[in-house]
Chain A
Amino acid sequence: MDRLERLVNLVAALIDTNQPLTRAEIRQRIEGYSSDSEAFRRNFERDKELLRQMGFPLVTMAVDPAHPDDLGYRIPRELYELPDPGLDESELAALRLAASAVQMEGEWGQDAVMRALRKLGGAVTESRDDATTPRPDSAPAGLAAIPGEDAAAVAFAAVAERRQVSFTYRGQKRVIDPWRLSFHRGHWYLSGFDHTRGGGGEERMFRLDRLEGPLAAQGPAAAFARPSAPQASPPPAWRLGDEDEVVAELLVDADQARWARQDLGEGAVKSIGADGSVVFEVGITNRDAFRSFVLGFLDHAEVLGPPDLRAEMIEWLDAMAGVEGERG
């Protein structure tokens, strides 16, 4: 018998039952399992593994509380069934268009998006006539690419289910209430409440591609409440530090001011010179990161103050300029 047929029958039986089915019942009731017990055991293990990998909520429980070792299996309907999101045809078409315009890179992204669309009821591809008419939402295939990381998928489910996650970051094991998953400047970030920090823990943000080892969900669902307004986006590098805050004054030449404004924000503009150059005021808690940012402008920017920050920059440059710099 075809394995697919056996799997369909197995899933049907596990959904259809209110009582967990024992192995003996499964072997007897599902066509396609061998009468040889070793072959049955092997095939049933393989089938269970495949169903779990596909995301079937296969529940294992004691059939009779008096005999806790007697295990049975079922798929609870309320965990199996996708609630109907109520998408109309134009919304399905919009999702399909989005899936073609924005590609998730990596091993599983393209298959996963296709499976998701099918579960939602597929979508009718636009006919050729429609496709030639530009629409406000139109977007060519391959407009954008987003990395499909395993940790992001696990984090996505944990945020949705409000389950705690654990992982290692900067050599430390962390336990987090995950509040928010976001993609920002080319990276996935997870923000949430870090129970392992400080006295009673604090809100932190983690770049998922910097995790050391896997991210794993643990404990029950609905383990915490999400605040309504978690930190919106990752802070810039010069705010990612534990140093005492200093307010740096930075002069950027006119021809580079546009990009400095993009990075520092309009709120940081202190004054605009007659030549179009701009002085910014920037609060920093990570001096190394700020120096790196400023040096990105080469000789089109200058730290004006405070004096010790300016002196540090000069010292940094002196070390590289050598004798020539001393004279300069």
Chain B
Amino acid sequence: MSKDRADARLGRLLAIVPWIVAHDGPSVEEVCRRFSVSERELLADLNLLFMCGVYPFTPDVLIDVHVADGRVWINMADYFRRPLRLNPQEGLALASAASALLNVPGADADGALATALEKLETVLGVGADDAFDVELGTAPSEVLETVRRATDTHHKVQISYYSFGRDGHSTRVVQPWRVFNSGGQWYMTGWCEKAESERMFRVDRISSANLEKETYSPPANLAAGAPPVYTPAPEDPRIVLDLAPPAHWIAEQYPNEDVQLRAAGVLRVTLRSGQRAWLERLLLRAGSHAIAVEGDPALRTEAATRVLRRYRS
């Protein structure tokens, strides 16, 4: 038996046993449903438990497992009366999920999730002094609630949107497929009727959202899990920059095709972007710490000149 398999089964068994001990003959079916385990797996584990116990392994100190009429009883396992404490990963993963969902605008601050999180944080030791907090991001709650409702009920939604990449405002009707949070930002994906193609929108850049009367049919096979947030298209123009250390954040923060360490701490990074305003911001912020090796040399000059006009007019 491989190591992984043994630790996964041991963990599962030591979680299920205390629950069965504490309940008077629950049905096998309920145990399976509750612990997401198949009946075959459960019975195999129980069969094994049947032979376990403590020294000297005489019948009176063996764990007593009894399965009859679709129900299961366990006795003589006082040392397994409680499950093992949550380890740090388990505590973090579950507390994060609960805390994050509670942070979503529209969540019931006094509901079952809120009380569950409070109880969980207390046993985990982070219940006091504001010691643990998960915050998902700063989308305006009315916009977020509107686009989430539109996604749930398959209503089209009209949005006023500021495109960061093109530095322009527009109004468009979208069939919203999914609303999700990734990297601390809220996004909406869907079919944009204006662009006549699939688009992703940042919810915090939607200045207003209104439900339309019209509904739509979502595509049958929407991928589960968060889609990749930004992927440049292969036909987007290529830009190669040499970055001095103060501009190394560009290589860390943005998806790129290649990074090479050149002499004296200079990173040569290859990016693709078809979004002029996005690139202008990046170059203006990096200043002389980024030198364009490949790409339109006029881009940065023109952007800097345009901004300077404000200061010189």
- Interface, chain A (partner B; CB < 8 A): 2-5, 7-9, 11-13, 15-16, 29-31, 46, 50, 53-57, 77, 79-88, 90-95, 97-99, 101-104, 108-109, 111-125, 134, 136-137, 139-146, 148, 152-154, 156-157, 159-161, 179-187, 226-230, 232-233, 255-256, 258-259, 262, 288, 291-292, 295-296, 298-299, 302, 310, 313-314, 316-322, 324-325, 328
Contact = CB atoms under 8 A, between A and B. Distances in A.
A115 B94 CA distance: 9
25 contacts: A4-B1, A4-B9, A4-B48, A9-B54, A11-B14, A29-B56, A54-B7, A84-B123, A87-B119, A91-B119, A97-B113, A99-B97, A103-B97, A104-B92, A115-B12, A118-B11, A118-B35, A119-B84, A139-B101, A144-B136, A160-B131, A232-B130, A298-B280, A318-B304, A328-B305
Contacts of B180: 142-145
Contacts of A116: 86, 90-91, 93-94
Interface string B92-121: 111111101110101110011101100110
B91 A15 contact: no
Contact of A156 (B113, B132, B138, B167): B132
Closest 5 CB pairs of A and B: A186-B184, A55-B87, A160-B125, A122-B34, A91-B116
| Interface bracket on B | 35 or more
Interface string B8-24: 11111111100100000
B112 A322 contact: no
Nearest to B288: A319
Interface string B148-168: 000010000000001000010
Interface centre among B19, B36, B93 (most CB of A within 10 A): B93
B52 A183 contact: no
A115 to B, nearest CB: 5
Given A3-B6, A122-B35, A142-B224, A299 B309 contact: yes
A238 to B, nearest CB: 13
Contacts of B179: 143
B308 A328 contact: yes
B281 to A, nearest CB: 6
A262 B138 CA distance: 8
B25 interface: no
**Could you tell me the dominant secondary structure of chain B's interface residues?**
helix
A111 B4 CA distance: 12
A83 B49 CA distance: 24
A118 B9 contact: no
Interface in B222-237: 224-226
B15 A118 contact: yes
Nearest to A108: B89
Contacts of B112: 88, 90-91, 93-94, 137
A7 B8 CA distance: 12
B274 interface: no
B10 A54 contact: yes
Nearest to B14: A11
B308 A83 contact: no
Given A7-B10, A82-B86, A321-B301, A95 B113 contact: yes
Nearest to A229: B130
A12 B181 CA distance: 43
Interface stretch (B66-74, B75-83, B254-262): B75-83
